[in-house]
Amino acid sequence: METLELKLIKKAQRGDRMAFRQLVMEHSERVFRLAWRLMGSEDAANDVVQDSFLKAWTRLDQFDYRAQFSTWLHRITVNTAMDALRKQSSRSKYEAPELEREPMGERSACPAETADLRKQMQVAMKSLTEVERAALMLRHFEGHSIAEISALLKINGSATKQAIFRAVRKMRETLTPLTEQEGYSQ
């Protein structure tokens, strides 16, 4: 049975913009979440979202149905973000996530703790290199294997592991005092 998404992809591959619009509508939020975690700011993440969908449009002929469309789009987004980070790194350090925004979702039940955690995380994120942050984000949030991350970041497996180890160490150094506080909960 052909899914609605497959029908949309096939139409978009034949130049149907409305079909591509549907795909954009469907996947924008997920792409943004990935981009935000890799880039660390809303503005930079929004730029990556735009660039990623543009690349997806121009490369739709390369989508061969062996992977899910979301997986293919995910790879484009990671590559786009990594390119942006490489350009960014030559200009300035990582822009830590904005803290002024309202936390969202069920886990924001303890705003004070969450805000504290976010603040500490900002400190920790600043101490990570682009590769350390990307490796940790891709492993922790996106579930990529070490081998996949190595390919995405264009570094060897050992370097990827070391990047994750360093990132986790830095995170733990920051988070340990908070998580040890009595009454802390997610």
Partner 1 sequence: MKKITDDDLVLVYYGEHSDADLVRRVAEDPQLTNRLAVLSEQLSALDVAMEPPSRSSDYGAEVWQKLVPTLADQGPARKPWSSAWLKPTAAFASVLAAIGVAFILGRQTAPVADSISNPPQLASSVNSGRVLASYSASYLQQMDVLLTGLANQSAPADINTWAAEMLLKNRVVRVAAENAEQHRLAQLLRELEPLLIELSHETAVASPRVRQRLQTEAQDTWLLRVRVMQSELATQPNKTSGLSI
Scan residues 21-50 and list those touching partner 1 (CB under 8 A).
21, 24-30, 32-33, 36-37, 42, 45, 49-50
Q: How far is the CB of 79 from partner 1 (least distance, A)?
A: 17
Query: Binding to partner 1 by residue 13, rule CB under 8 A?
Result: yes
Query: Binding to partner 1 by residue 165, rule CB under 8 A?
Result: yes
Q: How far is the CB of 84 from partner 1 (least distance, A)?
A: 16
* C-beta closer to partner 1: residue 2 or 91: 2
Question: In whole angstroms, what is the distance from residue 87 CA to residue 146 CA?
Answer: 24
Looking only at residues 125 through 154 of this chain, which bind partner 1 when binding is defined by CB under 8 A?
137, 139-143, 145-146
* C-beta closer to partner 1: residue 25 or 91: 25
8 neighbors 22 (Cβ within 8 angstroms): yes
Query: Binding to partner 1 by residue 101, rule CB under 8 A?
Result: yes
Contact window for partner 1 (CB under 8 A) among 18-26, 77-85, 87-95: 18-26
Contact window for partner 1 (CB under 8 A) among 78-86, 87-95, 107-115: 107-115
* C-beta closer to partner 1: residue 91 or 101: 101
115 neighbors 98 (Cβ within 8 angstroms): no
Angle of helix 17-39 relative to helix 69-89, nearest 10 degrees, comes to 50
* C-beta closer to partner 1: residue 58 or 90: 58
* C-beta closer to partner 1: residue 30 or 126: 30
